[in-house]
């Protein structure tokens, strides 16, 4: 079964850091671009970042550039999101997603909740 | 950054009726447009990509059309499981922004 499973969410204080992980299974992880999308409580979807299949090309939305870093370990079929200098407005459910050949996100994880609060 | 505008914000439809959802881009996105369905507490699910291609396992009652700046998602005969929020997303330009969503509710 094709699956993505996120982990690493939780409660963190403003200014703190958190590392999210996304474990992939059921497909050739190293062949796909991957992305991170978040959804604040009661709000819409916000694309954060994506990373090319080999891991060298990465793109970030302005709101997280310089604070968030995505990486991947194709040997471990895993995707990561390192989040630093967290703010209250970063509170959201964070999803990892696989991009299909056209660029749409065809497989999503179940999401992991990140709460930034003192 | 491209702005994606969905209308209406809420659509009230009776089961078995047709639903038509609109998505407009502030500039051309060619056919690089996807539609997603999201139910409460669940991750989004890809319905349509390339503006009109159904994703794997998506029922034929879902169809997409349009190109450039105007796009339509049609659900031909609403089933109970179709009541959800629907998002469009362009992936022609960085960042690949989503629309604000259309909630399809039971009339």
Predicted pLDDT at A103: 87
Token pair for residue B30? 């060619």
Cα B16 to chain center, whole Å? 18
pLDDT per residue as tens digits for the range B34-45:
999 999 999 999
Inter-chain touch A106–B32, beta carbons under 8 Å: no
C-beta separation of A91 from A40 below 8 A: yes
Please work out, in degrees rounded to the nearest 5, the angle formed at the alpha carbon of residue B51 by the alpha carbons of A5 and B62.
75
pLDDT per residue as tens digits for the range A25-81:
999 999 999 999 999 999 999 999 999 999 999 999 999 999 999 999 999 999 999
B15 pLDDT higher than 90: yes
Question: DSSP class of residue B82?
Answer: G
CA atoms within 13 A on the CB side of B30: 8
C-beta separation of A95 from A109 below 8 A: yes
Predicted pLDDT at A101: 84
Chain B residue numbers touching A40 (CB-CB < 8 A) = none
pLDDT per residue as tens digits for the range B48-83:
999 999 999 999 999 999 999 999 999 999 999 999
Q: CA–CA separation, A72 vs A55, rounded Å?
A: 6
Inter-chain touch B44–A108, beta carbons under 8 Å: yes
């Amino acid at each position: 079964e094709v699956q993505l499973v996120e982990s690493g969410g939780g409660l963190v204080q403003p200014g703190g850091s958190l590392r999210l992980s996304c474990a992939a299974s059921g497909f050739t992880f190293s062949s796909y671009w991957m992305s991170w999308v978040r959804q604040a409580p009661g709000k819409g979807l916000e694309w954060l970042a994506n990373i090319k299949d080999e891991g060298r090309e990465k793109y970030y939305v302005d709101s997280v550039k310089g604070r968030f870093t995505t990486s991947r370990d194709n040997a471990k079929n895993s995707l990561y999101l390192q989040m630093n200098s967290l703010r209250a407005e970063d509170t959201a459910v964070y999803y990892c997603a696989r991009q299909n050949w056209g660029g749409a996100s065809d497989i999503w994880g179940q999401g992991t909740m990140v709460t930034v609060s003192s | 950054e491209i702005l994606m505008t969905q209308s209406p914000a809420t659509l009230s439809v009776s089961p078995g009726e047709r639903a038509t959802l609109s998505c407009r881009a502030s500039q051309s996105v060619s056919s690089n447009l996807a539609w997603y369905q999201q139910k409460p507490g669940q991750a989004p699910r890809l319905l349509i990509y390339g503006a009109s291609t159904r994703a794997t396992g998506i029922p034929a009652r879902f169809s997409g059309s349009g190109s450039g700046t105007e796009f339509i998602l049609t659900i031909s005969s609403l089933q109970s499981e179709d009541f959800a929020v629907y998002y469009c997303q362009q992936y022609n330009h960085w960042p690949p922004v989503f629309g604000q969503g259309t909630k399809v509710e039971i009339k």
